[in-house]
Amino acid sequence: MKTHDIPALLTFADALADAAREAILPYFRAEHGVEDKGGADGFLDPVTEADKASERVMREMVERTHPSHGFLGEEFEETLSQSGYQWIVDPIDGTRAFVAGLPTWGVLIALAYEGEPILGIMDQPYLDERYRGWNSGADSVIRGARKALRTRECARLAGAICSTTDPYLFKGAEAEAFGKVRSASKLTRYGYDCYAYSMIAAGHIDCVVESGLRAFDIAALIPIVTGAGGGVCGWNGGFAAQGGRVLAYGDARVRDEALTLLSRCP
């Protein structure tokens, strides 16, 4: 089994996040260009100058420092790996929130080895919050204060706080399945994109249910949640790093109840 120099790789991932912050913050709550990539069902699928600047600076750093590593981002063409390592980034996850001036977006940075995420960062530059995860732990650095992350115990879905980015993500049988989870939960909150997953790791909420994700939407969040003691899986209980229908959870008992409801979806 290959061993990874996680401390050194995390240091580089932090440098990527720092560079993305510098690229993004001048655009937030300021005038800048917004294009519509054409979302499903006619919904706005925005890309901003900040998205492109963020991805461009991270891509250039990877190419310069780790030329054998691959790079997959949302905005530009994929670079294939020559070493098994691939950086998977979403330069701004939650661009709709960004456009609306809401501070619930984040920069997602994952490093995968042969398709398996081995570390991840969710950085919220405006709030000065960074959440990091790796194979044996997770931590946060919030306005300079570092602390270990740990999910909280939650014995039943009836006591759980759940989240999804938008209830209109779900159509047909998916909407029915999500509705069952929502009805069984204590509380459901909407609109937090990647920030909600970090709140699982920090012990504030208990599960996130989503659909239609791509690899760059979820890869960075898997090590953060799992490193804090929770987990991320598909609605069928399987591997989630490629996206699709995803369940993130802090306590396996919540996972088991939620999967009973979600796994029935065709």
Domain ranges of the chain: 6-148, 157-262
Which has the higher per-residue pLDDT, 32 or 103? 103
Average pLDDT, the chain: 94
Tokens found for residue 87:
């950086």
Say what the pTM is.
0.95
Q: How confident is the model at residue 38 (pLDDT cuts 50, 70, 90)?
A: low
Give the integer Cα–Cα distance in Å for 96 and 194.
12
Q: Is there a shared CATH topology between the 6-148 domain and the 157-262 domain?
A: no
Checking if the pLDDT of 41 tops 80, the result is: no
**Which range has the worst mean pLDDT, 37-41, 46-50, 183-187, 247-251?**
37-41
22 vs 32, residue with greater confidence: 22
Count Cβ neighbours within 10 Å for each residue of 46-82 and write b for 16 or more, e otherwise.
bbbebbbbbbbbbbebbeeebeebbbbbbbeeebebe
State mean pLDDT over 67-83. 94
Where helices occur in 84-212 by DSSP H, the ranges are: 95-99, 173-184, 193-201
What is the reported pLDDT for 167?
A: 85
H or E segment to which residue 163 belongs? strand 161-164
CB within 8 Å of 18: residues ≥ 6 apart? none
pLDDT of residue 162: 98
Is 80 exceeded by the pLDDT of residue 37?
Answer: no
Q: Is 157-262 assigned to CATH 3.40.50.300?
A: no
Rounded mean pLDDT, 94-116: 96
The reported pLDDT for the residue numbered 44 is: 66
CATH architecture entry for 6-148: 2-Layer Sandwich (3.30)
Question: Residue 169's pLDDT is what?
Answer: 85
Would you state the pLDDT for residue 32?
Answer: 78
